[in-house]
């Protein structure tokens, strides 16, 4: 049997590296954008790529899950056979939901509700003893959708491009419009957060994680960026746990 397995997405690639990351080896790193050159990174403390329910901290911020990680999957398929030939197509999807609280020391919490979605398709054809199978992430996946309430209110949405799996999206938080884009070509390393087309914050979601915040940002914008970073840290962890 000859098997062709194409990546199911950056989340699956990171998940494959989980045993290495769990050892604490910082094998995957982001190089911050020039606009963040010289800015000290805030290490994410308490994060484990294989444990979703841990409380994490970076700088003055704390992120805590307030509900259980819940996921559900669905699969459909069809096959056609004639003589010694067989073709089969199947579609698989998975949706995960969770809730967080992001708090700055001495401040009120922002409640975060997120949904992450993965969808993939398999195509298998066989003739005699030989078979070939191809797995592909469906266009537009993975997706991240979050809503925010409490101290800060708003929404976040990202989705992947059909071929490159490069993720882009936006967040509207407390009246501020943020642009979001993923970093990494083969494996998702993290996300850049942009205001007015300039990168002002970056969150590294690979390995243990790090966060960069432009120190010249207004305090309110730093708080918004930190809340978005917390949501993205846990959303990528959710994607790594999902198996479409």
pLDDT for residue 4? 29
**Residue 88 lies inside a defined structural domain of this protein:** no
The count of structural domains within the chain is 1
pLDDT for residue 11? 41
Distances in Å between the alpha carbon of 170 and those of 61, 150, 159, 191?
A: 22, 20, 10, 11
167-173 and 42-43 strand pairing: unpaired
The length of the chain, given as a count of residues: 244
* Host domain of residue 233: 15-71+98-116+139-241
**Residue 20 lies inside a defined structural domain of this protein:** yes
pLDDT for residue 93? 83
**Residue 34 lies inside a defined structural domain of this protein:** yes
**Residue 121 lies inside a defined structural domain of this protein:** no
Looking at mean pLDDT, say which of 70-79, 114-123, 151-160 comes out highest.
Answer: 151-160
**Residue 124 lies inside a defined structural domain of this protein:** no
**Residue 77 lies inside a defined structural domain of this protein:** no
The answer, as to whether pTM is greater than 0.95, is: no
**Residue 152 lies inside a defined structural domain of this protein:** yes
Q: Over the stretch 166-199, which tens digit does the pLDDT of each residue have?
A: 999 999 999 999 999 999 877 889 999 999 999 9
Q: Over the stretch 31-48, which tens digit does the pLDDT of each residue have?
A: 999 999 999 999 999 987
**How far is residue 75's CA from residue 169's CA, in Å, rounded to a whole number?**
27
**Residue 123 lies inside a defined structural domain of this protein:** no
């Amino acid at each position: 049997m000859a098997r062709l397995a194409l990546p199911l997405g950056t989340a699956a690639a990171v998940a494959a590296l989980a045993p290495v990351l769990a050892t604490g080896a910082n094998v995957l790193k982001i190089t911050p954008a020039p606009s963040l050159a010289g800015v000290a990174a805030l290490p994410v403390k308490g994060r484990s790529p294989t444990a979703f329910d841990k409380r994490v901290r970076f700088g003055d911020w704390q992120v805590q899950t307030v509900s259980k990680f819940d996921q559900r999957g669905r699969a459909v398929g069809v096959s056609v056979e004639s003589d010694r030939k067989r073709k089969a197509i199947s579609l698989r999807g998975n949706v995960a939901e969770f809730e967080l609280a992001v708090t700055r020391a001495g401040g009120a919490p922002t409640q975060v509700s997120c949904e992450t979605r993965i969808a993939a398709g398999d195509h298998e054809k066989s003739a005699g003893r030989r078979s070939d199978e191809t797995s592909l992430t469906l266009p537009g996946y993975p997706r991240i959708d979050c809503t925010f309430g409490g101290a800060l209110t708003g929404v976040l949405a990202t989705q992947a491009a059909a071929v490159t799996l490069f993720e882009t999206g936006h967040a509207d938080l407390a009246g501020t419009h943020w642009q979001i884009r993923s970093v990494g070509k083969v494996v998702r390393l993290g996300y850049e957060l942009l205001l007015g087309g300039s990168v002002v914050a970056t969150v590294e979601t690979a390995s243990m994680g790090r966060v960069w915040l432009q120190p010249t940002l207004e305090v309110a914008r730093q708080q918004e960026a930190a809340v978005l970073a917390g949501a993205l840290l846990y959303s990528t962890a959710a994607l790594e746990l999902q198996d479409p």
